[in-house]
Amino acid sequence: MSGHSKWNNIQGRKNAQDSKRSKVFQKLAREIFVAAKKGPDPNLNPSLRLVMDKAKAVNMPNDNIKRAIDKAAGNTNGENYDEVTYEGYAPGGIAVLVHALTDNKNRTSTNVRVAFNKNGGSLGETGSVSYMFDRKGYLVILREGLTVDEEEFMLEAIEAGADDVEISEDVFEIFTDPAAFSEVKDALQGAGYTFATAELSMFPTVYNEIAETNKTQFDKMMEALEDDDDVQEVYTNAEIN
């Protein structure tokens, strides 16, 4: 994965996300609600524990997290969300996966289709681009303030069960099999490391460079998708420079 740092992508969108912090919290609250319906105790519910860690990483207030869990535990009005994934192409053949949690599939599919069509893209059938992505555990540790040797850290992460480690000047990026994610995370946390990011994510097996002529449309499409209340994550195989 060298040269395709997901962290660069995260940092590249950070300012835009910060300006929409309330929307980020709203989406996380929905994700917490869905996970908490399987059980309100994060020690017994790995899915809830994972999304709570994700929420804390973006400084979501504890009151907001608790409110979403309590809402799930006391849900008597039948509120429910379906997980839906849309697949398609952005301008220039960039593969796009859109993961949504929705209480109205017709509304969400219409909004997603409009975001694609208005910006030079096209929705595809199920399976049309998902084969280009692998699901992996992803952990990021900021190197600022760390004195650990690079080779020493890499060995430590591999011994904890990581599949791969990417090292840059600013961060250690650790990739795991999804089934080993919690074990690797707990081992590194137990060794005293803290995470800037800890999540299960989708990673492209092949990257595609965005032509300069398509960049404006691509950015508008990403903004429209990420701004949709029902859309939780957007994954692409765009080359990040």
Identify whether residues 200 and 229 lie together within a single domain. no
Q: How many domains does the chain have?
A: 3
Q: What is the mean pLDDT of residues 218-229?
A: 94
> Residue 192's domain spans which residues?
133-204
Buried b (16+ CB within 10 A) or exposed e, 9-40: ebeeeeeeeeeeeeebbebbbbbbbbbbbebb
Identify whether residues 41 and 64 lie together within a single domain. yes
- Residue 131 is predicted with a pLDDT of 96
CATH number at residue 59: 1.10.10.200
What's the pLDDT band for 4 if we cut at 50, 70, 90?
A: low
Q: What is the mean pLDDT of residues 126-150?
A: 94
Q: Which two tokens stand for residue 157?
A: 């992460």
Query: Could you tell me how many helices (H) and strands (E) the chain has, helices first?
Result: 8, 8
What's the pLDDT band for 91 if we cut at 50, 70, 90?
A: very high
- Does residue 229 belong to any structural domain of this protein? yes
- Does residue 10 belong to any structural domain of this protein? no
Identify whether residues 140 and 122 lie together within a single domain. no
Phi-psi region of 185 (alpha: psi -120 to 50; beta: other; left: phi over 0): alpha
Q: Which two tokens stand for residue 115?
A: 């975001």
- Residue 1 is predicted with a pLDDT of 41
Identify whether residues 152 and 125 lie together within a single domain. no
Identify whether residues 223 and 123 lie together within a single domain. yes
Whether 15 shows a pLDDT value over 80: the answer reads: no
Q: Based on C-alpha coordinates, what's the Rg of the chain?
A: 18
- Residue 233 is predicted with a pLDDT of 93
- Residue 241 is predicted with a pLDDT of 61
> Following DSSP, what letter does each residue of 17-48 receive, concatenated?
HHTTHHHHHHHHHHHHHHHHTT-S-TTT-HHH
Identify whether residues 29 and 139 lie together within a single domain. no
- Residue 52 is predicted with a pLDDT of 93
Higher pLDDT, 213 or 15: 213
Whether 2 shows a pLDDT value over 50: the answer reads: no
Identify whether residues 183 and 215 lie together within a single domain. no
pTM (predicted TM-score):
0.86
Q: What is the mean pLDDT of residues 109-131?
A: 96
Identify whether residues 25 and 57 lie together within a single domain. yes
Q: What is the pLDDT of residues 160-204, one digit of tens each?
A: 999 999 999 999 999 999 999 999 999 999 999 999 888 999 999
Whether 51 shows a pLDDT value over 60: the answer reads: yes
- Residue 76 is predicted with a pLDDT of 64
Identify whether residues 115 and 224 lie together within a single domain. yes
